[in-house]
Amino acid sequence: MGNLLYAIAVILIILWAIGYFAFSAGYLIHLLLVIALIVIVLRLIKGERVL
């Protein structure tokens, strides 16, 4: 389950970067970034390696 959360976080960060530089999607791009950061913070709290 942890690997799945990490994969989702990485995908969301990539989508955020693409959207930030290529499209003007407004709040949706920032929402993706916030979700990815929350997943990474949850992994840090659990004590799992992030990278």
Q: Please state the pTM of the whole predicted model.
A: 0.47
Domain ranges for the chain? 2-46
For tokens 């290529």, name the residue.
22
What is the mean pLDDT, run by run of 10 residues, along the chain of 51 residues?
Answer: 76 78 67 81 74 55
Q: Where are the alpha helices (DSSP H) in 1-51?
A: 2-22, 27-46
Q: Which two tokens stand for residue 40?
A: 């990474």
Contact 8, 39 (CB under 8 A): yes
* pLDDT score at 24: 61
Rg of the chain in Å (alpha carbons): 12
- The single-letter DSSP state of residue 37 is H
Contact 35, 10 (CB under 8 A): no
